[in-house]
């Protein structure tokens, strides 16, 4: 019998980004995996890093394949005042401004301006999705009227302080896992894998595939053999069966927003697979 996830957990340091597939609803359970024996937190699929912000670990490595995301974390960590100043110039809930920012060539922007652009597009895009075309240009439509307000400066400043304990890796999850050591807690929240190459092409060049699931599985075995604690979250599915084999797991019922509309909200089961 799956345990139901808490409705809307309040968090003393909420993430400053919205993220499709965020595990905020699982936080009360996820937080319980961190113990006083853990010295460092390692998250190779960071996204909005909601567990990192909730835990306040003394040391962390945050990784993600998304270069815009990682460079935004670096700017928020080191140059928060410049990012906030840039954000204050952007009118919220403004479709024209969204279109203008989306069309910019990011390679021409200073890093703090680029971070402000990323934060703005993330706040007012459809469902906090990050998707690019084959040229790597962000192409998610505006959804501003359905989105909440930009977090206030205090949230950004608190996130900036928490990010002081983190180092960042922009790259594939293996590049992060190679750095994992005994005493780390490794939390892995990969995207859901897609089957057909056609679907893969239609969405995003970085979409997770079935080969990636196999790579992840072999890394779980490797971490386990090295005595490194890990937790993997994944929706109940054939792929989850591959990942959970011979490891312990618990099933949590969560409300999932499938297509962004109330009619498509459904309960799904999320598995937390661990060697702890």
Ligand X SMILES: C[S@@+](CC[C@H](N)C(=O)[O-])C[C@H]1O[C@@H](n2cnc3c(N)ncnc32)[C@H](O)[C@@H]1O
Q: How far is the CB of 187 from ligand X (least distance, A)?
A: 8
Q: Which two tokens stand for residue 246?
A: 């011979």
189 marked as binding residue: yes
Q: Which is nearer to ligand X, 46 or 145 (CB)?
A: 46
- Sequence-distant (6+) residues with CB within 8 A of 174 are 215, 219
Q: Whole-angstrom Cα distance, residue 52 to residue 41?
A: 7
Lay out the site mask for ligand X across 254-273 (x = CB under 6 A, - = otherwise). --------------------
106: how many CB neighbours lie within 10 A of its CB? 17
- Total number of residues that touch ligand X (CB under 6 A): 20
Handedness of CA 168, 172, 173, 179 (dihedral sign): negative
173-192 residues near ligand X, rule: CB under 6 A: 173, 189-191
Binning the chain into helix, strand and coil, the percentages to the nearest 5 are 45, 20, 40
Which residue, 97 or 260, has its beta carbon nearer to ligand X? 260
The residues in 58-77 that bind ligand X, with binding defined as CB under 6 A, are 64-66
> According to CB under 6 A, which residues from 185 to 224 bind ligand X?
189-191, 206, 208, 212
Least Å distance between CB 5 and ligand X? 13
Count CB atoms within 10 A of the CB of residue 261. 9
Q: How far is the CB of 63 from ligand X (least distance, A)?
A: 6
Residue 19 Cβ, how far from ligand X at the closest point, in Å?
A: 4
Greatest extent of the chain over all pairs of C-alpha atoms, in Å: 53
- The torsion of the CA quartet 49, 19, 210, 32, rounded to 10 degrees, works out to 40
Locate 188 and state its tokens: 């892995």
Residue whose C-beta lies closest to ligand X: 47
Smallest separation, CB 16 to ligand X (Å): 11
Bridge-based pairing state of the strands 40-43 and 184-188 = parallel
**Over the range 219-241, which residues count as b (16 or more CB within 10 Å of their CB) and which as e?**
bbeebeeeebbbbbbbebeebbe
Retrieve residue 122's tokens.
């993330």
**Is residue 19 annotated as involved in ligand binding?**
yes
Within positions 20 to 49, which residues make up the interface with ligand X, using CB under 6 A? 21-23, 44-45, 47-48
Which one of 19-27, 114-122, 158-166, 264-272 is the stretch in contact with ligand X (CB under 6 A)? 19-27
Strand 248-257 and strand 60-64: the pairing is unpaired
Q: Answer yes or no: is 36 a known binding residue.
A: no
Residue 86 in contact with ligand X, rule: CB under 6 A: no
Least separation in angstroms between residue 113's CB and ligand X is: 22
* Numbered residues of the known binding site: 19, 23, 64, 189
* Numbered residues of the known binding site for S-adenosyl-L-methionine: 19, 23, 64, 189
Catalog residues that contact ligand X under the rule CB under 6 A.
Answer: 19, 21-23, 44-45, 47-48, 50, 64-66, 172-173, 189-191, 206, 208, 212
């Amino acid at each position: 019998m799956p345990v139901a996830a808490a409705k809307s957990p309040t968090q003393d340091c909420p993430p400053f980004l919205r993220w499709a597939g965020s595990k905020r609803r699982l936080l009360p359970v996820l937080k319980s995996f961190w113990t006083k024996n853990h010295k460092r937190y390692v998250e190779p699929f960071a996204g909005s890093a909601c567990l990192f912000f909730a835990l306040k670990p003394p040391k962390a490595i945050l990784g993600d394949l998304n270069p815009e995301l990682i460079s935004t974390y670096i700017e928020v960590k080191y140059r928060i005042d410049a990012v906030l100043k840039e954000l204050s110039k952007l009118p919220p809930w403004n479709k024209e401004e969204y279109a203008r920012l989306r069309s910019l060539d990011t390679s021409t922007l200073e890093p703090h301006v680029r971070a402000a652009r990323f934060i703005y597009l993330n706040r007012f895009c459809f469902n906090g999705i990050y998707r690019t075309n084959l040229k790597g240009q962000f192409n998610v439509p505006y959804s501003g009227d359905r989105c909440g307000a930009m977090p206030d400066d205090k949230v950004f400043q608190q996130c900036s302080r928490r990010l002081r304990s983190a180092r960042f890796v922009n790259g594939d999850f293996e590049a992060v896992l190679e750095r994992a050591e005994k005493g780390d807690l490794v939390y892995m929240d990969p995207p859901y894998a897609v089957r057909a190459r056609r679907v893969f092409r239609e969405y995003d060049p970085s979409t997770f595939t079935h080969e990636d699931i196999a790579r992840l599985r072999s890394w779980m075995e490797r971490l386990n053999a090295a005595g490194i604690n890990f937790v993997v979250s994944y929706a109940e599915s054939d792929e989850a069966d591959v990942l959970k084999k011979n490891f312990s797991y618990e099933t949590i019922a969560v409300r999932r927003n499938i297509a962004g509309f109330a009619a498509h909200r459904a309960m799904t089961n999320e598995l937390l697979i661990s060697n702890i």
